Amino acid sequence: MAETTLQRKPALLGKTKEELTNIALELGLPKFTGNQLAQWLYVHRAETFDRMTNLSKKARSLLAEYYTVGREKPVTIQTSADGTRKYLFPAIDVRGEQGWVEAVMIPEGDRATLCISSQIGCKMNCLFCMTGKQGWRGNLTAGEIINQVLSVEEADKLTNIVFMGMGEPLDNVEQVLRSIEILTSEWGLAWSPKRITLSTIGVRAGLIRFLNETRCHLAVSLHNPFAQERAQIMPVENSMPLKETLSLIRSADFSSQRRVSFEYIVFEGINDSLRHAEELTRLLRDIPCRINLIRFHKIPDVELKPVNDSKMEAFRAHLEKSGFTATIRASRGEDISAACGMLSTREKLKQQQ
């Protein structure tokens, strides 16, 4: 088995080529070793130092003395009848205790999309989110984020990545931006930014940096167009009002090369009325965007309910009549509880028994 996150040596996975070069020089190794390490970590995807065969045995021994590679295999894999797969990865939290994060692979035609996590738990406490019930237990490192991409069984077949797993990505902006750099750099995984989307509920400082420093797509979790009602299900509305998030988006450069979309989970009797649809179209009328309507996956101890298909269709029809591109996202992986946080919560409870 590859080195585990339980080991205290720092990991090389998640380091930039410049950082890898500095590490090599500090260990007395040739400068070009940094480029070799980047190749082994991100191109050849080596899980152990022994696989890095163009490094001398002395170099590999020296690296192993002070560092780990940083690769970690999933401890649980669940496969849905529809092909969706949920992976559970171990991660150590801020208290030094065992935590868990999830990644979900969603196949659709010739696409294979991986939803990845950025935090252990989440501090945003959205009413409808199981991850928020865990509370915040720590930020993932760039290496732990990249490990999810490299360690799923479909790693070589992935076409898209979405930062839409556990946690609020922009609450861990430094490590998320570092992971995006590794994903998109020529010395890294060399992905096009157009294949990466980041989903956020709105974190001011992080959103500004994301908009300025990347060309990746943006998805905003909106869920209610009325500020007071949104605050009841999304406490972030009190510290970062939706109107401020929309103002930042209006000032950003979005084009055919970079898209913005809005996620809208539809709850029965909460945000599913004509009044909500009309306010949603008013708020977004000057922003070229797509609106994704999402069916709610019920979670324990939360009274929110999903709406029926006819109401979802009616809501979409109103948006389309108003000139928006609107989709109803198909429910995936319900038989394996694919909603974020379900599997990790069960694992956490199991460990406590």
Is 221 marked as binding a ligand? yes
Is 255 marked as binding a ligand? no
DSSP bridge pairs for 266: 295
Residue 340 designated active-site: yes
Q: Which two tokens stand for residue 98?
A: 């065992």
Neighbours of 6 (CB within 10 A): 10
Nearest one of 201, 222, 196, 245 to 292, comparing CA atoms = 222
Nearest one of 196, 197, 179 to 188, comparing CA atoms = 179
Q: What angle do CA 162, 168, 171 make, to 5 degrees?
A: 120
| 3 state DSSP class of 199 | strand
Is 20 marked as binding a ligand? no
Is 318 marked as binding a ligand? no
Please answer whether residues 225 and 283 qualify as being in contact, where contact means their C-beta atoms are separated by less than 8 angstroms. Answer: yes
Is 199 marked as binding a ligand? yes
| 3 state DSSP class of 221 | strand
Is 25 marked as binding a ligand? no
Is 168 marked as binding a ligand? yes
Distance CA(72)–CA(4), nearest Å, equals 6
Is 222 marked as binding a ligand? yes
Q: Which of 47, 102, 237, 347 is catalytic?
A: 102
Residue 102 designated active-site: yes
Residue whose token pair is 């946690």? 167
Nearest one of 264, 194, 184 to 222, comparing CA atoms = 264
Is 126 marked as binding a ligand? yes
Neighbours of 321 (CB within 10 A): 11
- 3-state DSSP percent of the chain in helix, strand and coil, to 5: 40, 20, 40
Distance CA(178)–CA(17), nearest Å, equals 12
Is 223 marked as binding a ligand? yes
Binding residues for [4Fe-4S] cluster: 122, 126, 129
Please enumerate, by residue number, every residue annotated as part of a binding site for S-adenosyl-L-methionine: 167-168, 199, 221-223, 297
Which residues are catalytically annotated?
A: 102, 340
Binding-site residue positions? 122, 126, 129, 167-168, 199, 221-223, 297
